[in-house]
Amino acid sequence: MRGHIAILVLAAVATAFSVSAAAQNAAPGGWVDPVWEKPPITAANRKPAPRRTLAGTWGPAGGPGVGTQGGGVQGKPNNGRPENQLPYTPYGLELYKSHKALEGIDAVLPAQGNDPRNKCEPLGFPRYNHYNIRILQIYQDEYKIAMLYQFDNRWRVIWTDGRELPKVVDGGVTVGGELREQRFFGYSVGTWLDDQTLEVQTVGTMPEDRVWLDSTGRPISDRARIIETFRRVDNDTMLWTERIDDPRLYTTPWESMRMPMRLHDARTDVQEYTCSPLDQENYNKFFGDTVSGK
């Protein structure tokens, strides 16, 4: 039980911070804070979705807690329930057991964890989709979409200009016969299925010894194909889903996320949320090492 004290302390701080931020929504000088309590979409206030665009400032419709996903990917939280058990291959299960996560049903004491995040390594993709999604900014032009993640000020590019998805090979991908490197965000290509629905496929991500799938230690490999859909339900609502197809670690594809998103004021000030090695060192000093007794 003591091993969870640090996590509870951080949760309490985050809650207090959220309350404080909510109290400052009417901040002077035009610095708009996120407004999480939004009126429901009804027939009277519903606006039609614009054609073939995801541009805007978005947050989980259920509030920032929905996007935190501390208990595992939003669609399959790692809580021990049978319906949330993943279809691991033998290698996938072995890899999962080697991960010492600070969250989830198999959480360890803070000083015993081996999450790459704890060294401020880039989270990799698709873990950025599963880590503290509070505010997500999306920009778009005729060739591509850029998604700006709040955590660690990272961004990814989704190409929508008709280019082919690279082919995955050992150690990287090939593009037009040319070998290219693996990337933390991989290579993403989007196709409009209709005027309101974009399907995105991503390959060429980092290998399983560099990144995790979520904060509970579930694994992801460089053989994964990540399939996302972004469906603009109306002007103010977007349904974001994600499916994992990783034959190296999972016997069948499975849905990892189904998250309704709500549009925020475009003037919303997105606060910095950065992984700092010094902050991590201080956390281990005052929480992790103390709680673990080491």
Over residues 146-187, the pLDDT tens digits come to 999 999 999 999 999 999 999 999 999 999 999 999 999 999
Is residue 23 situated within a structural domain? no
Kindly report, residue by residue over 188-204, the tens digit of the pLDDT. Answer: 999 999 999 999 999 99
Beta bridge partner(s), residue 242: 228, 257
Dihedral sign of CA atoms 280, 286, 292, 294 in order:
positive
Q: Is residue 84 part of a domain?
A: yes
pLDDT of residue 28: 56
228, pLDDT greater than 70: yes
Length of the chain: 294
How does DSSP classify residue 104?
Answer: S
How many structural domains does the chain have? Answer: 1
The answer to whether 261 and 62 are in contact (CB under 8 A) is no
Phi, psi of 239 (to 5 degrees): -100, 120
Q: Is residue 139 part of a domain?
A: yes
Residue 16 falls inside a structural domain: no
Establish if 217 belongs to a structural domain.
yes
Mean pLDDT, residues 80-89:
97
Residue 32 resides in a domain: no
Q: What is the pTM of this model?
A: 0.87
User: Has residue 25 been placed in a domain?
Assistant: no
Is 241 part of a structural domain of the chain? yes
Contacts of range 264-267, beta carbons closer than 8 Å, 24 or more positions apart: 264/34, 264/35, 264/56, 264/57, 264/58, 264/59, 264/135, 265/32, 265/35, 265/57, 266/56, 266/57, 267/30, 267/32
Give residue 222's domain range. 54-276
- What pLDDT does 18 receive? 42
Contact predicate 104/72, CB 8 Å? yes
pLDDT at 10: 42
